[in-house]
Amino acid sequence: MHGIIKFPGNPWPEGHPLKDFRLGVLLHGSRGDIPAKATLDLRFRSEDYCPPDHFEKMLAVSEAQREETSNWESISSWLNYGAAYATSIASHEDMVIADEETGFDIECLNDFARVIDPIPETISDDDNNYEIPAFHSHILSWDDMADHHMHIKRNPKSGLYDIYWKGKCGRSDIGNYRYQHEFELEVSDVPFGGYSGHKLSWQKQAKVSLEERDLELRSLLKSLVNNPGKMQFKTGHFPGRDQLLPD
């Protein structure tokens, strides 16, 4: 995996390398009247804003240059917050890519393009439908992200994915619906991260054997995924997020 994320106007015009990037699919079992569905599972984390090989360069910057007029332009502000990361919200409707009727097919991720969480032309403080973003994110403190323009393309030779993703960020105050800044992310050679289950709570997971969890996840896979191929079970890094990975 090779990638970079840029925040135009911040102290690093060349951008920040990505430490990790996940492209996967999250499977949701049916709940009451809500049918089972599959959602896009995306996560990334950048390297530290100021990696060790940049430290001497930063020391050479004058004090005046370190304290620009805005947090976005200030080196010290960025260094205070370490790195950028984002994780897709499991329940966000814009992330839905299949249900029990259509079924998910891995081929849909080749030349996949979508606008996620677009910014409405007019927003007021009474717009409850715009309070939950598609991603949990951290850029400078808890800045939000929106208006994601995403393009995913599969390399036919390697079977890996290249992703171009740009959007808006910067809303952090209640009632402030202005996304003052932009981001641009490019990443290549990303493997498909497999399927994760979003069904077992932490309490239930602790009481269920690995064999039962494997069986439950494979049952969910069968109901939602077309031609899944051979998959190996792996316990998840997050509670309730067991995974089936390609062999």
For the segment 20-33, the average pLDDT, to the nearest whole number, is 90
pLDDT in tens, 145-178: 999 999 999 999 999 999 999 999 986 555 555 6
Q: What's the pLDDT band for 124 if we cut at 50, 70, 90?
A: low
pLDDT, averaged across the chain? 84
84 Cβ neighbours under 8 A, 6+ residues apart: 5, 7, 16, 44, 45, 46, 49, 137, 138, 139
Are residues 26 and 38 in contact, defined by beta-carbon separation less than 8 angstroms?
yes
Residue 105 corresponds to which tokens in the numbers above? 């097919």
The candidate with the shortest Cα–Cα distance to 45, out of 4, 7, 79, 8, is 4
51 CB-contact burial (10 Å; exposed 0-12 / middle 13-18 / buried 19+): exposed
Max mean pLDDT among 25-29, 86-90, 110-114, 179-183 falls in: 110-114
142 CB-contact burial (10 Å; exposed 0-12 / middle 13-18 / buried 19+): exposed
Write down the domain spans for the chain: 2-201
Position 127 pLDDT exceeds 70: no
Instruction: Report pLDDT for 170.
Output: 84
Instruction: Report pLDDT for 144.
Output: 85
Q: What's the pLDDT band for 16 if we cut at 50, 70, 90?
A: very high
pLDDT in tens, 51-92: 655 655 555 555 555 555 678 888 878 888 889 999 998 888
Indicate the residue type of 104. Answer: F
Please give the model's pTM, rounded to 2 decimal places. 0.86
Contacts for 75-81: CB closer than 8 Å, 24+ residues apart: 75/11, 75/50, 77/140, 78/10, 78/11, 78/12, 78/49, 78/50, 78/140, 79/49, 79/50, 81/49, 81/138, 81/139, 81/140, 81/141
**DSSP three-state, residue 17:** strand
Position 15 pLDDT exceeds 60: yes
pLDDT in tens, 183-231: 999 999 999 999 998 665 555 666 778 898 889 889 999 999 999 889 9
Instruction: Report pLDDT for 161.
Output: 98
Dihedral sign of CA atoms 97, 101, 104, 110 in order: negative
